[in-house]
Chains A and B, each alone.
Chain A
Amino acid sequence: MTGPLLSVSDLRVHLDTGGPPARVVDGISFSIRAGETFVLLGESGCGKSMTALALLRLLPPAGRYASGSITLGSTDLLRIPEQAMRDVRGRRIAMIFQEPQTALNPVLTVGAQVGEVLARHRGLRGAAMRDRVVELLDDVGIADPRRRAEEFPHQLSGGMKQRVMIAMALAGGPDLLVADEPTTALDVTMQAQVLQLLREIKERTGMAILLITHDLGVVAEMADRIAVMYAGQIVEEAPRTEFLGAPLHPYSRKLFESLPDESRRGAPLAVIEGVVPPLNTEFRGCRFETRCERRWPTCALLPPKWIDAGAGRYVRCHLHDPAMRDIPEGVARAGRAQTAADGPRQKSHAAATLIVRDLQVHFPIQRGILRRTVGHVYAVDGLTLAVPPASTLALVGESGCGKTTTGKAIARLLEATGGEVRFDGIDVLALRGAALRRLRREIQFIFQDPYASMNPRMNVADIVAEGMVAQGIGRTAAERLQRVDSLLHQVGLDPGAKSRYPHEFSGGQRQRICIARALAVQPRLVICDEPTSALDVSVQAQILNLLRTLQEELGLSYLFITHNLAVVRYLAHEVAVMYLGRIVERGPVEEVMARPRHPYTRALLSAVPQVDPETGRERIRLRGELPSPSSPPSGCHFHPRCPVAEPRCRERYPAAVSVGPDHTAHCHLLAPP
């Protein structure tokens, strides 16, 4: 075997931010062999992106290399001049970023941007260059590459932009591709396509990939070897099967346990208490010690060594240190293995809290000086659903399918153009003025980005009390303040937090504040719009647990809008799958997840990367992307992408077909002939 392609040893990167430097990368070593996919796994703020930037010598101005070496082939990248480094970037190591949106130049055609790399690293000019650009775009699976090369980034969808980024990365013919969360900004079906493409390219070119992600599903799909990062250090390194089979480090285990999943229904998810320690502290013992459930006194005193655990596995933990074996096992604290029974739930469909019938939200498209309406965006086009009391209906779909619009129309943040919304028999869409304001008390909304949904100039007490003031709950300010205390306590925050401002909190804490604000007016229905998609996995688990507990205590109903099917499995009682403004399948969650009947639901379920390495599932890959809601396809909206479409699918929209108890789907193939 030849030596490794890239080896990093004892790399340390410090960020000078005034005060003690933040040690964002603190002595990491790893090596990548030619043709392998090496995954750096970790939560946000653990230093994984900074490691990627460090490899390319693209540190931000405040960053500096404190020590270490990065060897590519036989060159030490930290010792060569900047001039030579420019030939390494793009030519030998290429990088793709998380947001293809911002990584492409909006004023140049994509062809020109790919061509730039070719001109710089391959010396191609004129027609030869143009031909190669088209070839590259074709290689990354862009249909009609000749035309697409002339288009600008805004004319392409997110998935296509990421493909263009990959084409740019491939243009230099690199030995190593650094991919920093390449699919985080994409939908599941797009994610599956992009991951597949990366795998194919790797096989075809023998290029190595350094993949940076926080998603265990992506790890299982892609990785040959995995390194887990925590607080600037690698805490575990292992080959794929060993890692997925039984991770060694307590942190890695926790990451697995905090994944929401069907098998954990009814039980609270494991949570990692606390937060990642600030990186400018001086660590004496193990960095994970304060959050670890299996810590012993030694952990706080001695930094754990990098231990060879055999079979290519390494771990940084005292538990696996042979020299520490004499510590009695009883010292390790047992995990929080408490199990709660699935909360009692009234299954009375007759008395549904919220009934939505044939809801329509059409936005006019206006053109020209006179703003004539030239068409409509059919964002929500005839949607029907019902949320029973004290239970959760999950509304699932890809971005752009209209699920957020539905939520906002029900909460009257947007005006519906047709249909009916009844809450407890009250016609919600007809309410005006004071009556509408009274209804606000019953229906609350939790937003995706907790930070954006709080006024940065208001403190927590004012934020939480705002609804009480507006609704006249609590006669005096003191009375309201007392209620703020109990609300903060209820969502698991210290009441001492009330005089602080939103920017002083972490993402998970902010979402707790938003939940407290919504609960302050004692609602019965809470519309949750992707409340955990901006959060890390371990924090997501905390919020999901909280939502679940609150439902049991207060009998809340949730309309839970999400694209994350694992969350649906964990939290929802019923699920409605949305495609291009309409529900294509709905039913009890166990039914729909176990026996999906609509081809779209099936494709969606099979596109989710699975953590379990053993499942040999057949995958249904969707071609193309979500069509524009301004000109939906004729007949069944899904037929252009459907693997089993028939001629009749093109002609008319399928009616609802009952396929089980409370389980319906809109598909011609399910209808009796």
Chain B
Amino acid sequence: MSAAARLSLFVLIGWAALAALAPLLRLTPDAISLPEIMQPPSWASWLGHDDLGRPMADRLICALRTSLLVVGIVVPLSAASGAAVGVAAAWRGGLFDACIARLMDVFLAFPGTLLAIAMAGLLGPGIGNVVIALTAVSWVGYARMARAQAYAVKTREHVHAARVLGTPAPAILLRHVLPLIAAPLLMEATLGVAGVILAEAGLSFLGLGVQPPSASLGAMLRDGTAYMLVAPHMVIVPGLALLALMLACNTLGDALQHRLDPRRTLSLMPAA
């Protein structure tokens, strides 16, 4: 594992730990304090305060917790549902598969963020609706990948062999198809984490996501833009956090891809 990948892993673990432990830290993200309005970072408060005098450090940790919550629900949910739909389509084939394929085309024809904005707008703001909107958008990527991979695995002779032995279809899918397509799906999921973080921040930036006073990276950025020239730390702090998370996810995804060796992923088996 390269140094960059190790650093990325460290960043992501730090993010998860910080977000998970937030309730234990006795944070005061909503404590308004007028004397400290827009104070730049100092020794006492090392990330400064925002336009209402709330401590930026506390708000950042809460924002990270929001991202983790959204990622933690959206990624597993969309990966699982996408994989299920994709594998089912590949296995059944025929008209069912044709319908699913067209449905995926429809979803993929829209830019994902735009669709999420439309859905979040339709459902109304709120973190629950953000989760619904993002899941509805991101299952397609997993479904498309799972379908393509399952098609390749389905025609392999070990699947035929299992059928000849009389193994029922659900057992074949669980034992002979899913384990062989898990690796590329996992890779897709790693890159998916970055996408979901960014999408959540985007929706919150537009006011469609987490509602005030709850903190979110997107909402913090939006608040900061109004005071960019007076209090640049209000954009720099959430911006850098977002950047770090993005870079870490992508670097780790690349490392994972490298590890899985494209040739091996294609042939779906360890080199003999």
Please report A residues at the B interface, Cβ cutoff 8 Å: 408, 411, 413, 436-438, 440-441, 443-445, 447-449, 451-458, 466-467, 469-471, 503, 514, 517, 521
A503 adjacent to B272 (CB under 8 Å): yes
Given contacts A467-B166, A470-B166, A470-B167, whether A456 and B269 have CB atoms under 8 Å apart is yes
Q: How far is the CA of A451 from the CA of B162 in the complex (A)?
A: 14
Which of B158, B160, B176, B271 has a CB less than 8 Å from the CB of A413? B160
A466 adjacent to B167 (CB under 8 Å): yes
B171 adjacent to A457 (CB under 8 Å): no
Chain B, residues 238-272, CB within 8 Å of chain A (1/0): the string is 00000000000000000000000000000011111
Given contacts A451-B272, A456-B269, A503-B270, whether A517 and B160 have CB atoms under 8 Å apart is no
Q: How far is the CA of A37 from the CA of B30 in the complex (A)?
A: 89
Instruction: Enumerate chain A residues within 8 angstroms of B269, measured Cβ to Cβ.
Output: 451, 456, 503
Query: Does B156 count as interface, using CB distance less than 8 angstroms?
Result: yes
Whole-angstrom distance between the Cβ of B109 and the nearest chain A Cβ: 17
Q: How far is the CA of A444 from the CA of B161 in the complex (A)?
A: 9
Instruction: Enumerate chain A residues within 8 angstroms of B163, measured Cβ to Cβ.
Output: 413, 440
Whole-angstrom distance between the Cβ of B91 and the nearest chain A Cβ: 14
Q: A-B pairs with CB below 8 Å: how many?
A: 74
Query: Does B6 count as interface, using CB distance less than 8 angstroms?
Result: no
Given contacts A455-B180, A457-B179, A457-B180, whether A471 and B161 have CB atoms under 8 Å apart is no
Instruction: Enumerate chain B residues within 8 angstroms of A471, measured Cβ to Cβ.
Output: 165-166
A458 adjacent to B175 (CB under 8 Å): yes
Query: Does B164 count as interface, using CB distance less than 8 angstroms?
Result: yes
Which of B158, B164, B180 has a CB less than 8 Å from the CB of A440? B164
Q: Which of B174-196 contact A (CB under 8 A)?
A: 175-176, 179-180
Which of A413, A438, A444, A470 has a CB less than 8 Å from the CB of B171? A470
B160 adjacent to A467 (CB under 8 Å): no
Instruction: Enumerate chain A residues within 8 angstroms of B157, measured Cβ to Cβ.
Output: 447-449, 452-453
Closest A residue to B156 by CB, please name it: A452
Instruction: Enumerate chain B residues within 8 angstroms of A441, measured Cβ to Cβ.
Output: 166
Q: How far is the CA of A437 from the CA of B165 in the complex (A)?
A: 8
Closest A residue to B269 by CB, please name it: A456
Closest A residue to B176 by CB, please name it: A455
B166 adjacent to A445 (CB under 8 Å): no
Instruction: Enumerate chain B residues within 8 angstroms of A453, measured Cβ to Cβ.
Output: 156-158, 160-161
Instruction: Enumerate chain A residues within 8 angstroms of B156, measured Cβ to Cβ.
Output: 452-453
Whole-angstrom distance between the Cβ of B156 and the nearest chain A Cβ: 6
Query: Does B168 count as interface, using CB distance less than 8 angstroms?
Result: yes
Q: How large is the interface on B (under 10, 10 to 19, 20 to 34, 35 or more residues)?
A: 20 to 34
Given contacts A470-B171, A503-B270, whether A454 and B158 have CB atoms under 8 Å apart is yes
Closest A residue to B166 by CB, please name it: A440
B161 adjacent to A447 (CB under 8 Å): yes
Whole-angstrom distance between the Cβ of B75 and the nearest chain A Cβ: 24
Closest B residue to A521 by CB, please name it: B165
Q: Which of B160, B161, B167, B180 has the most CB of A within 10 A?
A: B161
Closest A residue to B180 by CB, please name it: A457
The 7 closest A-B pairs by CB, nearest first: A440-B166, A453-B157, A467-B165, A437-B166, A456-B269, A470-B167, A470-B166
21 pairs, A vs B, C-beta closer than 8 Å: A411-B164, A413-B164, A437-B168, A444-B165, A445-B160, A445-B164, A448-B157, A449-B157, A452-B156, A452-B158, A453-B157, A455-B179, A455-B180, A456-B180, A456-B269, A458-B175, A470-B166, A470-B168, A470-B171, A503-B272, A514-B161
Q: Which of A438, A455, A517 has the most CB of B within 10 A?
A: A455
Instruction: Enumerate chain A residues within 8 angstroms of B268, measured Cβ to Cβ.
Output: 456
Closest A residue to B171 by CB, please name it: A470
B161 adjacent to A470 (CB under 8 Å): no
B165 adjacent to A447 (CB under 8 Å): no
Instruction: Enumerate chain A residues within 8 angstroms of B165, measured Cβ to Cβ.
Output: 440, 444, 466-467, 470-471, 517, 521
Q: How far is the CA of A452 from the CA of B157 in the complex (A)?
A: 6
Whole-angstrom distance between the Cβ of A102 and the nearest chain B Cβ: 14
Q: Which of A436, A452, A467 has the most CB of B within 10 A?
A: A452
Instruction: Enumerate chain B residues within 8 angstroms of A445, measured Cβ to Cβ.
Output: 160-161, 164
Q: How far is the CA of A607 from the CA of B175 in the complex (A)?
A: 45
Q: How far is the CA of A448 from the CA of B158 in the complex (A)?
A: 11
Closest A residue to B182 by CB, please name it: A457
Closest A residue to B153 by CB, please name it: A455
Q: How far is the CA of A436 from the CA of B164 in the complex (A)?
A: 10
B164 adjacent to A444 (CB under 8 Å): yes
Instruction: Enumerate chain B residues within 8 angstroms of A449, measured Cβ to Cβ.
Output: 157
Closest A residue to B167 by CB, please name it: A470
B166 adjacent to A455 (CB under 8 Å): no
Whole-angstrom distance between the Cβ of A176 and the nearest chain B Cβ: 33
Q: How far is the CA of A471 from the CA of B167 in the complex (A)?
A: 8
Closest B residue to A457 by CB, please name it: B179
Which of B160, B162, B180, B271 has a CB less than 8 Å from the CB of A466? B162
Instruction: Enumerate chain B residues within 8 angstroms of A440, measured Cβ to Cβ.
Output: 163-166
Whole-angstrom distance between the Cβ of A441 and the nearest chain B Cβ: 7
Q: How far is the CA of A131 from the CA of B14 in the complex (A)?
A: 70
